[in-house]
Amino acid sequence: MPYRVCFVCTGNICRSPMAEIVFRARLADEGLDTLVETDSAGTGGWHEGDGADPRTVEVLRAAGYPGAHLARQFRAEWFSRLDLVLALDRGHLRELRALAPDPSDAAKVRLLRSYDPAAGADLDVADPYYGGIEDFEECLDSVERAVDGLLEAVRTEVKERS
């Protein structure tokens, strides 16, 4: 059974699809894409069925990341099939842990930037939605740095399962 990861932000049109697409590309580069499944969702359903924010798409394409995306809302019943739920900021972390059916599911929720040793105490990925393209570029930088550490942690989990 594959290791399953879900990235979660507010509306699933900026940060979480960016993290999903970056992580999926890194998994493919490392040959882990058949062992790890990744997706994303939002804590709210305002954008369900919409594509990623055009600025997200622009920044990802400029950095060489392929991928299409349709927004959806995270559901409590997903916890049973997920191994790791990655919140993009502390607000999402609180919401997801409160949504978790039991303590073991709540323990699956972590902050993405906790995998970036250089993050220090600043563990939120800043929301670029109300900013300009430079805010989306900064978001991508934060995501890429955290994904490096996440990849190592997931690689270890996958090896332990084998």
pLDDT per residue over 98-156, tens digit each? Answer: 999 999 999 999 999 999 999 999 999 999 999 999 999 999 999 999 999 999 999 99
15 a catalytic residue: yes
Query: How many whole angstroms separate alpha carbon 97 and alpha carbon 94?
Result: 5
pLDDT at 162: 81
Cα Rg of the chain (Å, integer): 15
Q: Which of 75, 65, 64, 63 is nearest to 12 (CA)?
A: 75
Q: Tell me which DSSP letter residue 80 carries.
A: G
Catalytic-labelled residue, pool 14, 15, 24, 53: 15
Residue 61 is among the residues annotated as catalytic for this protein: no
Query: pTM to 2 decimals?
Result: 0.97
Domain boundaries, the chain: 3-161
For 43-68, what is each residue's pLDDT tens digit?
Answer: 999 999 999 999 999 999 999 998 78
Lookup result for tokens 């939120």:
124
Q: Find the mean pLDDT for residues 34-51.
A: 96
| 127 noted as active-site residue | yes
Confidence of residue 17 (pLDDT cuts 50, 70, 90): very high
What fold does the segment set 3-161 form as a domain?
A: Rossmann fold (3.40.50)
In DSSP terms, 109 is beta-bridged to 85
Catalytic: which of 6, 9, 14, 139?
Answer: 9
